[in-house]
């Protein structure tokens, strides 16, 4: 149902086709941008039908070309022409960026818009005439689909000129991440060889990609012409630089090295302990594996900051307060042996540590806080980045429980001090590697 609603929103916005009007909200707009090519189907179909009629009636090429130039405007309601005219008006002004944006927002039409609008229509009509005379209209029609697909591709991969407006409504937040899925090309074939990630081979990805093109899976599964286009690009350049076209961010979740409290098996939440010698040794072992990141986020506590500085000595990091460890309240700084006689502790353990901690943070609040901090942090990270999170074991488990696939319970994602968990984030889920 949501897919159908997204289709209706795309058609009502970018075409003149009468469809039921829906209220715009996050749910029914989630996939709207994925249906931009559907408008191209309508334009291509209209041109093909007009060509069939023209041939059947023996119409002159001039009349055909004149009407053909108008058809896309009639089908779309002129929304793309409006954008084109606003753009050329702004660019021709040779003003500052702020003034250009103001010109684009102005409802009035300038002289340059009129001039370039006429140039566009004349050029389009001339091209249509030549294509019609050569009998290649059927080959041209699919280009309308490709143009709308590329429009969606640019919308979700290039920064918006403004942080408001119609385009932002289609490409903000979760909508942007979901919309990129039809525009990703054959990740499966490249995943097999790991060629799109560091250290992988190229030849395996090439063979897998070619086999998928031959089998036609690119066409069926990955967005038609756009999938085929980027499959070809990946064949020609199967390296990590093309990862920028995929809506993925590689994640490294690193638990800090051990502290003295960790070694004594104490509940160390907000206690700001430094790394002990054993913890430093753990981090040094991890550092020798040679990992690198483009961005680095850490908890505000000393043990995570020390770990980040040892792992990535030259890398600046951002402290995220929401990624701090849970507050163990009355249990803070004590071991299980020291708490054995406490009825509140026994009740907490019997409940799988899922009940509120006396004078501490509830598990629900903790998980919610961690996930909100992660979502807020990752939303501004560019696609194709490699991001490190140096945090706490509980924080990693909370985020993984909410986002990771395959889906498992909280404790299944436990990792030891100085260990790393890797995954790929697609804007919605984290696929564990």
pLDDT per residue over 367-419, tens digit each?
999 999 999 999 989 888 999 999 999 999 999 999 998 888 888 899 999 99
Q: Is the dihedral of CA 401, 406, 407, 408 positive or negative?
A: negative
The whole-number average pLDDT for the span 237-244 is 40
Of 50-64, 218-232, 312-326, 373-387, least confident by mean pLDDT is 218-232
Cβ neighbours of residue 355 closer than 8 Å, sequence gap 6 or more: 347, 348, 363
CA distance 310 to 257: 10
pLDDT at 1: 58
How large is the angle between the packed helices 302-311 and 277-287, nearest 10 degrees? 40
Task: For residue 287, give Cα distances in angstroms to 254, 257, 282, 307, 311.
Answer: 11, 12, 9, 10, 5
213 neighbors 228 (Cβ within 8 angstroms): yes
Question: Same domain for 270 and 385?
Answer: yes
Of 26-40, 83-97, 111-125, least confident by mean pLDDT is 26-40
pLDDT at 159: 62
> Which of 196, 230, 245 represents a domain boundary (last residue)?
245
Give the single-character DSSP code of 266.
B
Question: Same domain for 145 and 272?
Answer: no
Question: Same domain for 113 and 8?
Answer: yes
Angle at 370 between CA 367 and CA 373, to 5 degrees: 145
Query: Token digits for 255?
Result: 């638990």
Which has the higher per-residue pLDDT, 93 or 214? Answer: 93
pLDDT at 255: 96
Cβ neighbours of residue 312 closer than 8 Å, sequence gap 6 or more: 292, 293, 296, 388
pLDDT at 97: 74
pLDDT at 341: 82
pLDDT at 403: 94
pTM for the model: 0.47
Instruction: Check whether 12 has a pLDDT greater than 80.
Output: no
CA distance 77 to 66: 17
Instruction: Check whether 239 has a pLDDT greater than 60.
Output: no
> Which of 215, 245, 275 represents a domain boundary (last residue)?
245
Question: Same domain for 167 and 232?
Answer: no
Question: Same domain for 274 and 137?
Answer: no
Question: Same domain for 220 and 232?
Answer: yes
Question: Same domain for 148 and 218?
Answer: no
Q: How far is CA 80 from the centre of its chain?
A: 25
CA distance 423 to 412: 15
Question: Same domain for 306 and 347?
Answer: yes
Tens digits of per-residue pLDDT, 126-167?
888 887 777 777 777 788 778 777 776 666 666 665 555 556
Burial class (CB in 10 A: 0-12, 13-18, 19+), 376: exposed
pLDDT at 302: 96
Which of 156, 150, 183 lies closest to 168 in space, CA to CA? 156
DSSP-assigned beta bridge partners for residue 249? 425
Angle at 172 between CA 239 and CA 90, to 5 degrees: 90
Question: Same domain for 126 and 261?
Answer: no
Number of domains making up the chain? 3
Strand order in the sheet with 404-405: 318-319, 295-298, 386-391, 249-255, 420-425, 430-432, 404-405
The whole-number average pLDDT for the span 282-294 is 92
Task: For residue 427, give Cα distances in angstroms to 295, 332, 403.
Answer: 17, 35, 10
Instruction: Check whether 29 has a pLDDT greater than 90.
Output: no
CA distance 276 to 302: 12
Residue 25: how many CB atoms within 10 A of its CB?
10
Of 146-160, 294-308, 332-346, least confident by mean pLDDT is 146-160
Question: Same domain for 289 and 340?
Answer: yes
DSSP-assigned beta bridge partners for residue 404? 430
Q: Where are the beta strands (DSSP E) in 333-406?
A: 386-391, 404-405
Query: Token digits for 368?
Result: 């919610």
Question: Same domain for 254 and 156?
Answer: no
pLDDT at 172: 54
Q: Which domain range does residue 264 map to?
A: 249-432
Task: For residue 74, give Cα distances in angstroms to 15, 20, 62, 122, 144.
Answer: 8, 19, 19, 16, 14
> Which of 196, 225, 245 represents a domain boundary (last residue)?
245
Question: Same domain for 169 and 286?
Answer: no
């Amino acid at each position: 149902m949501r897919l159908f609603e997204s289709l209706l929103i795309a058609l009502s916005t970018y075409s003149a086709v009468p469809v039921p009007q829906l209220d715009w909200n996050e749910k029914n707009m989630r996939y709207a941008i994925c249906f931009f090519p559907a408008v191209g189907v309508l334009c291509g179909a209209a041109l093909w039908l007009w060509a069939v009629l023209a041939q059947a009636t023996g119409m002159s090429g001039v009349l055909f070309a004149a009407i053909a130039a108008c058809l896309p405007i009639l089908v779309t309601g002129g929304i793309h022409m409006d954008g084109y005219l606003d753009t050329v008006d702004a660019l021709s002004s040779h003003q500052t960026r702020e003034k250009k944006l103001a010109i684009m927002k102005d409802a009035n039409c300038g002289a340059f818009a009129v001039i370039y609008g006429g140039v566009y229509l004349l050029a389009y009509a001339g091209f249509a005439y030549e294509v019609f005379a050569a009998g290649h209209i059927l080959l041209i029609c699919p280009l309308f689909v490709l143009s709308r697909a590329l429009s969606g591709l640019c919308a979700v991969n290039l920064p918006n000129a403004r942080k408001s407006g119609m385009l932002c409504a289609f490409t903000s937040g979760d909508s942007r991440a979901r919309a990129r899925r039809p525009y990703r090309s054959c990740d499966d074939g490249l995943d097999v060889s790991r060629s799109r990630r560091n250290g992988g081979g190229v030849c395996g990805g090439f063979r897998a990609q070619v086999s998928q093109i031959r089998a036609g899976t690119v066409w069926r599964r990955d967005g038609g012409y756009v999938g085929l286009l980027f499959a070809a690009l990946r064949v020609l350049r199967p390296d990590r630089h093309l990862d920028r076209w995929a809506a993925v961010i590689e994640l490294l979740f690193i638990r800090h090295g051990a502290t003295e409290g960790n070694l004594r098996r104490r509940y160390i939440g907000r206690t700001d302990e430094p790394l002990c010698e054993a913890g430093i040794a753990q981090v040094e072992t991890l550092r020798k594996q040679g990992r690198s990141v483009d961005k680095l986020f850490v908890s505000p506590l000393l043990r995570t900051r020390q770990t980040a500085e040892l792992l990535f000595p030259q890398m600046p990091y951002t402290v995220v307060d929401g990624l701090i460890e849970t507050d163990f309240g009355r249990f803070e700084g004590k071991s299980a042996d020291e708490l054995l006689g406490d009825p509140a502790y026994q009740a907490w353990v019997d409940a799988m540590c899922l009940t509120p901690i006396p004078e501490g943070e509830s598990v629900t609040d903790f998980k919610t806080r961690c996930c909100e901090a992660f979502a807020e942090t990752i939303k501004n990270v560019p696609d194709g980045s490699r991001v490190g999170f140096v945090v706490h074991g509980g924080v990693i488990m909370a985020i993984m429980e909410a986002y990771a696939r395959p889906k498992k319970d909280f404790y299944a994602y436990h990792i030891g001090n100085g260990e790393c968990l890797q995954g790929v984030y697609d804007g919605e889920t984290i696929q564990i590697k």
